[in-house]
Chains A and B, each alone.
Chain A
Amino acid sequence: MNDLHHVSLAEMARQLRERRLGAVEVATHFQQRAAQHLAGPNAHGDNTGAFLAVDAEVTQAQAQAAQARLDAGQGGPLEGVPIAHKDIFVTRDFPTTAGSRMLEGYRSPFDATVVNRLAQAGMVALGKLNCDEFAMGSANENSAYGVSRNPWDLQRVPGGSSGGSAAAVAAGLTPAATGTDTGGSIRQPASFCGITGIKPTYGRASRYGMIAYASSLDQAGPMARSAEDCALLLSAMCGPDPDRDSTSLDVPAEDFRLRLNDSLQGLRIGLPAQFWGDGLADDVRAAIDQALAELKQLGAVVVPVQLPRTELSIPVYYILAPAEASSNLSRFDGVKFGHRAADPVDLLDLYRRTRSEGFGEEVQRRIMIGTYVLSHGYYDAYYLQAQKIRRMIASDFQQAFTQCDVIAGPVAPTVAWALGEKSADPLASYLADIYTLPASLAGLPGMSVPCGLGAGGMPVGMQLIGNYLQESRLLNVAHQLQRQTDWHQQRPALASKEVA
């Protein structure tokens, strides 16, 4: 069964379809592994803390239903293939916490659109994955339920905010996971854990049922072991949702696998000068250079480009995202759902204590920043100014894309850092987002592709950024790279361990 850790999703789906594999046995295999990786204060040994919730009954029931459909020859494209969902997506069958005490035990009466679409494709849900609280963080150290740990080195962070998703895929606990990316939260953990992940163009995947952090930046995306797998998942996840999400793009659903095998001959890869500054660690630089060399071998050419406002993307993002978050999180007030302070003496007490008890420190910090930059007298200087520079950043990309087809660079300045290393200094982790933030602000699709190991034997990911709606091209480049190399197939030792 551990072979399943190496089989592509398409192959797994085929084996299920051809009844060479049974949906129940597949689900049981992963579910047993997942159950050993539940986050919590007592997590020890090999426990990566990747999962927040599992439910054997639910998973078994879904697997049986999948098998029935397979038996009747009525399976969907991913029928019987397991999936786990970042705990930012609401689900009826599992509790949803968003990694926060504020939603401890919360049961949504509806499923997120993305969850629905994958279920309709036939996927079997294993449970909910750990993440930074309300998707705010870059190390999964901001979860109220315990950290998630990097399967390559359990003393290191898996990245964030989709840390649990990345750890779960890397450790072979699930063949695929959903993540969300607001400032890099799919790309960075994918890079830290040596897996493949893609954030599509803003608006491609419905945000309905995705607990909102920063509405104009949040996007759902797949995290899996290869570009091919991501393409399959992305196709199932994306598509217009006009009835539920007003920011959903009116662009037809696409099969993102169609161009996987296009030739890279003549492909122009732009390398932004600003991505190769002093902050970039040597080991990361070396790994990416290796990947670029491979791409050149496949016929691509590299061209220098400029993204002059790269550094500005940090303050711009950390003004805009907290601003939107401060408003999105106002609904958590102890009245309709979620945590409520005990015995409130009056309304004010209810609000203050509920929110101070329910929200962790980083969330409170971002709410404070957001409230401040929107407040009277500061709106123009901060919020509006940030939105204007955002447009300039988007224009910078358009300018760059006149000279290249895709942009490549690092995902993060270093490999995964040690647990606790940056938790005392929130600003330090903000600064480490420098390479992923620009594409988020512009709403462009961005991908992380494993490109070897760096310091301490930790994975390095290369970032690919495409122009609007160019996911197919990114997946194409990644796929061709993955046909030539085996970086994406490297696994931590943990992944091969049998269930105890």
Chain B
Amino acid sequence: MSTRLVQGYEVVIGFETHAQLSTQSKIFSRAPTAFGAEPNTQACAVDLALPGTLPVMNRGAVERAIRFGLAVGAHVAERSVFARKNYFYPDLPKGYQISQYEIPVVQGGTVQFYLGDELKTVRLVRAHLEEDAGKSLHEDFVGMSGIDLNRAGTPLLEIVTEPDIRSSDEAVAYAKELHKIVTWIGICDGNMQEGSFRCDANVSVRKPGQPLGTRREIKNLNSFKFMQQAIDYEVRWQIEQIEDGHAIEQATVLFDPDTGETRAMRTKEDAADYRYFPDPDLPPLMIDREWVEDVRAHMSELPRVMAARLVTQYGLPDYDATTLTQSQAMAAYFEAVVQACQQPKLASNWIMGEVSRRLNSGELSLEQLPVSASQLGALITRIGDNTLSNNAGKQVFDALWTGEALASQSPQAQVDALIEAKGLKQMNDSSALEAIVDEVLAANADNVAQVKAGKDKAFNALVGQVMKASKGKANPQQVNAVLKARLG
């Protein structure tokens, strides 16, 4: 395994990710968690920390934590403890955050993903439950900030890695894989613009073999693109500092997307002394093994497991399997298409290719795909049985996309009707093909000579001529075979 050095330095990165859990109500109160409500209309007495209020734990948040623990192969603690993290900030109504400190609900676990060809494993230290803070708004007020506590109390799962990551590429790949996991298992909606998935990266550099350098924490990275930029800048900055003879001071930094730079936040005084102690308002969280097994039994196949299965079951390359399992929806679509056409590799090519391209350019989700799995399956069936060339298939796909098919017909009938209507049937009759080939050879004597002299380009030009002469209906493989036979 290679470690990429930057200017001779090893980059060491650890991640802390805050994933907002997709519960209906807050972690400690019964106020709703929906995004985008009018300020402070979803902040009840408990969320506002009104005198006399107390926390009551949301079962849905715990259940999601268990799901996560199972998804990453971690230990789900039988007993975990909530602790108060004390600090003053206007978006923190109680003046402390209820979190977990010494004994978190999820312990250990790993996240695996491919970086290029290499399989990477990032170890998790822990994942724990805590409450989100509110928001400060600065725009409308002169010299003041407006505090909206709607978000205060939204359940978070804080997921912490060991400092196993060695490059910004790897960091982004990890973050994407984690994002996939939490959305796949349905515990988080993964909406990074809305702040559902926020990453902090702890970055340090060192000469190989040296002890860990001082790290700086880049906070609130909520896009993969910015994540990469921020880490790259920070690494270069730290190296420059060290090379100039300056020591790195521990700091919390923010990434400015406009300048592309990281800069240290105003130091929060006594930032490190949170005076953690077990929250006396909340007895220990007990999770018996039965509950864990019950959650496990109701979980659908995890992406890594499914990818491995696609490889063995359908003979797909790892790359395909990984790409197809980017979401439950895509994986399900793939398997439905295969069921219809029995052509796993073709199905994979079409989904990773044409389907994905159109979804991306139209900014559509898979659920909005106008071509059903059975339709695509029917199309691929006709490519597989040589009725249709791949290229011609695109025209049929186009027609299906724009809704030209007759709703009353079965998918196979729809596809066949379109093939017929557009005259796309591939020529598979060898004698007709041979006749065309002979005509083309006769008309292109120079090319023939060049091919015999060993020029591949000339051969391809002949193939092109044959295809043109057949009005695209020739089977390209057949054309190749026949030409080769003729030219010797």
Contact = CB atoms under 8 A, between A and B. Distances in A.
Determine whether A and B are in direct contact in the complex, meaning some CB atoms lie less than 8 angstroms apart. yes
A245 B281 CA distance: 8
Given A109-B45, A110-B45, A246-B54, A374 B90 contact: no
Contacts of A243: 56
Nearest to A208: B54
A90 interface: yes
B281 A215 contact: yes
Contact of A108 (B51, B55, B56): B51
A429 to B, nearest CB: 24
A475 interface: no
Contacts of B50: 90, 108-110, 336-337
A330 B289 CA distance: 37
Contact of B86 (A108, A327, A337): A327
Contacts of A110: 45, 50, 52
Given A108-B51, A247-B281, A333 B272 contact: no
A108 B52 contact: yes
B358 to A, nearest CB: 50
A106 interface: yes
| Residue among B88, B273, B276 facing the most chain A CB atoms (10 A cut-off) | B88
A246 B278 CA distance: 14
Interface in B64-122: 84, 86, 88, 90, 93-96
A368 interface: no
Contact of A331 (B56, B95, B147, B273): B95
A375 B54 contact: no
A320 to B, nearest CB: 9
B277 A327 contact: yes
Contacts of B251: none
Which secondary structure dominates where chain B touches chain A?
Answer: loop
B282 A336 contact: no
A247 B94 CA distance: 18
Contacts of B282: 246-247
B51 A211 contact: yes
| Residue among B54, B93, B147, B149 facing the most chain A CB atoms (10 A cut-off) | B54
B250 to A, nearest CB: 15
A376 B273 contact: yes
B277 A383 contact: yes
B49 interface: yes
Contacts of B95: 327, 329-333
Given A247-B283, A327-B84, A376-B272, A106 B54 contact: no
A132 interface: no
B281 A90 contact: no
A351 B88 contact: yes
Contacts of A258: none
Contact of A246 (B52, B57, B149): B57
Given A110-B45, A333-B95, A375-B273, A215 B280 contact: yes
Nearest to B145: A347
Contact of A336 (B56, B84, B93, B277): B93
A436 B86 CA distance: 30
A487 B45 CA distance: 44
B275 interface: yes
B51 A103 contact: yes
B277 A246 contact: no
B56 A246 contact: yes
B53 interface: yes
B330 interface: no
Given A330-B86, A330-B95, A330-B96, A337 B51 contact: yes
Interface in A166-217: 207-212, 214-216
Nearest to A89: B52
B482 interface: no
Interface string B267-290: 000001101110011110000000
Contacts of A246: 54-57, 281-283
Contacts of B275: 326-327, 371, 374-376, 379
B174 to A, nearest CB: 31
A96 B51 CA distance: 9
Interface in A73-121: 89-90, 96, 98, 103, 106, 108-110, 112
Interface string A415-435: 000000000000000000000
Nearest to B277: A374
Nearest to A96: B51
A310 B19 CA distance: 48
A323 interface: yes
Interface string A366-383: 000001001110010001
A194 B52 CA distance: 30
Contact of B49 (A109, A208, A336): A336
Interface residues of A, number: 45
A335 interface: yes
B272 A90 contact: no
B48 interface: yes
A141 interface: no
Given A106-B51, A374-B275, A375-B273, A335 B283 contact: no
Nearest to B46: A244
A351 B90 CA distance: 10
Interface string A237-256: 00000111111000000000
Interface in A104-146: 106, 108-110, 112
Contacts of A351: 88
A324 interface: yes
Nearest to B274: A376
A76 to B, nearest CB: 23
Contact of A212 (B52, B147, B277): B52
Contacts of A210: 52
Contacts of A216: 280
A245 B277 CA distance: 19
Given A215-B280, A335-B147, A371-B275, A209 B52 contact: yes
Contacts of B49: 331, 336
A110 B52 CA distance: 9
Contacts of B52: 89-90, 108, 110, 112, 207-212
A224 to B, nearest CB: 23
Contacts of B283: 246-247
A103 B51 CA distance: 9
A106 B48 CA distance: 14
Contacts of B277: 323, 327, 374, 379, 383
A333 B88 contact: yes
A327 B96 contact: yes
A112 B50 CA distance: 12
B15 to A, nearest CB: 25
A314 B427 CA distance: 98
Nearest to A134: B51
Contacts of B276: 374, 379
Interface in B4-46: 45
Contacts of B54: 207-208, 212, 244-247
Contacts of A330: 86, 88, 94-96
Contacts of B56: 242-246
Contacts of B96: 327, 330
A440 to B, nearest CB: 13
B251 to A, nearest CB: 19
Contacts of A375: 273, 275
A347 B90 contact: yes
Nearest to B94: A331
A108 B282 CA distance: 23
Contact of A335 (B55, B57, B90): B90
| Residue among B45, B48, B53, B57 facing the most chain A CB atoms (10 A cut-off) | B53
Contacts of A337: 48, 50-51
Given A110-B52, A244-B56, A246-B281, 13 more contacts: A103-B51, A208-B54, A210-B52, A243-B56, A245-B56, A326-B86, A329-B95, A331-B93, A333-B88, A335-B93, A374-B275, A374-B276, A379-B275
6 contacts: A103-B51, A106-B51, A211-B52, A212-B52, A326-B86, A337-B48
A-B pairs with lowest CB-CB distance, top 5: A330-B95, A374-B275, A215-B280, A216-B280, A209-B52
